[in-house]
Amino acid sequence: MKISELSKKTGVSVRSIRHYEKKNIIQARRLENGYREFDESVIERIRNIQLYLGLGLTTEQIEEILSCENSAPSDYEFCEEMLEKYQEKLNKINDQINSLEVVKQRLEEQIHNMTSKRLVKNG
């Protein structure tokens, strides 16, 4: 299928598809006229890429994951590294959430204090 059809089927822009190809996370065959032709299997691959991007991973990390998914049993050690990357990313996100919770709590306290002072002043 041509890139425009792939874009319609996946909901991903032509520009993004070209970017994925440039990053070697999807491949296309070139026709004699220079047009790209994609296999049907690329649809699922792009859906996976979108999932991983939604998890906050970079295209480089996604390339490693996709390589891991296609690896032979002798390469499972590499896949264990991917699990570590997932854990690192999760830990980083949890740290960010905790930091935001602290800021949220301080803001709520500040708003409460200011509201209380206004009630006392006007009351």
Instruction: Identify whether residues 66 and 80 lie together within a single domain.
Output: no
Give residue 96's pLDDT: 94
Instruction: Identify whether residues 45 and 4 lie together within a single domain.
Output: yes
Instruction: Identify whether residues 30 and 56 lie together within a single domain.
Output: yes
Instruction: Identify whether residues 84 and 123 lie together within a single domain.
Output: yes
Q: Indicate the residue among 70, 92, 114 that finishes a domain.
A: 70
Domain extent at residue 99: 76-123
Which phi and psi angles does 32 have, rounded to 5°? -60, -35
Q: Write out pLDDT tens, residues 57-78.
A: 888 888 888 877 665 555 555 6
| Mean pLDDT score, 22-29 | 92
Give residue 70's pLDDT: 62
Scored b (16 or more CB within 10 A) or e, 100-122 reads eeeeeeeeeeeeeeeeeeeeeee
Instruction: Identify whether residues 46 and 84 lie together within a single domain.
Output: no
What's the domain count of the chain? 2
- Here the tokens at position 104 are 């949220």
Written in H, E and C, the secondary structure of 42-100 is HHHHHHHHHHHHHCCCCHHHHHHHHHHHCCCHHHHHHHHHHHHHHHHHHHHHHHHHHHH
